[in-house]
Amino acid sequence: MKIKKYLASLLAVMTLSMAFTACNKSDEPEVLSDNSNDIVHDAPETSPEVAGISDVEVPQEEEFEPAYTAQAGQAYLAIVGSQWEVQYWGNDTQSGYMLAYDAGIADIKGDGSYTVSVNANTKGFRNAMTGDSNGTYTPEGINFLAVMIPDGETLYPDAIITVDSILVDGNEIELTNKNYTSSEDGKETRANIYNTWVNNPPKDARTPDGALYDEDGDALKICNEYSAQIINEEDFGTWSKVEVHFTITGANHTSTPVSTENNDNENDEADEE
């Protein structure tokens, strides 16, 4: 991907309001379109050159950790570091990038508690980033973070994701606001954790407290408690493993997800009924 494309993407980002504006109960807030997927997928290929997992040359007699893809009805942790080339979008191809190795996937089986994660402390990640499984490459900062469920809007249309805790290298960080549940494309369910491309929750945001807007579209007082940014970016100075523990409600009595028998790195902790 050319640097010119990156500069164009960066310019697009700069035109958006990057500062989070809380919902105002007296004035209807501006609700921006959540196009964060389009922006972060246009991240530049920096040095060392970013290659897809399928393009990485694996030394003979060396085995890497499995690289995981989230299937329909499974949750994964979407993440973009400040270097941009460090990303995970739920798959083990070029658009998924190197954090697919040893990624923690949660098989959603109804209401309950689950965990998703990414891990940069793997042979696969190090080899992909440096060309050497024993090389050194430490992710820094955060540009985007969210819990995602492919086809979640079809399989669990009433599901609400509540982020309970976030651990960075084993250390729990502060949650500064409450998260809401929504969808950027009408298909994939998401719970934004750090998304600077969204100033206010959308009108159709789902929360445990109910609607955030009244029938006229005006923000209710409770809207002030919800945000697309519920963490401090300072807590992501450098990191290797990020874990998100969350609870799902409203997912019972819905469609059955497709088989996920080929994906055995499930970190779910759901309570089976």
User: What's the mean pLDDT when you consider all of the chain?
Assistant: 81
Does a structural domain hold residue 204?
A: yes
Does a structural domain hold residue 102?
A: yes
Instruction: Give the total number of structural domains in the chain.
Output: 1
Does a structural domain hold residue 256?
A: no
Cα separation, 220 vs 223, in Å, equals 6
Q: How far apart are the first and last CA of the chain?
A: 48
Q: Is 126 in a helix, a strand, or coil?
A: helix
Does a structural domain hold residue 12?
A: yes
Q: Predicted confidence band at 257 (pLDDT cuts at 50, 70, 90)?
A: low
Does a structural domain hold residue 175?
A: yes
Does a structural domain hold residue 27?
A: yes
Q: Which of 43-52, 57-66, 95-104, 139-148 has the lowest mean pLDDT?
A: 43-52
Global pTM value = 0.78
Does a structural domain hold residue 90?
A: yes
Tens-digit pLDDT profile for residues 6-24: 434 443 444 333 333 445 4
Tens-digit pLDDT profile for residues 190-205: 999 999 999 999 999 9
Cα separation, 163 vs 158, in Å, equals 16
Q: Tell which residue, 169, 173, 197, 168, has the closest CA to residue 184.
A: 197
Q: 222-254 burial string, b = 16+ CB within 10 Å, else e?
A: bbeebbbbbbeeebbeebebbbbbbbbbbbeeb
Mean pLDDT of 48-76: 72
Does a structural domain hold residue 189?
A: yes
Range of the domain at 37: 3-249
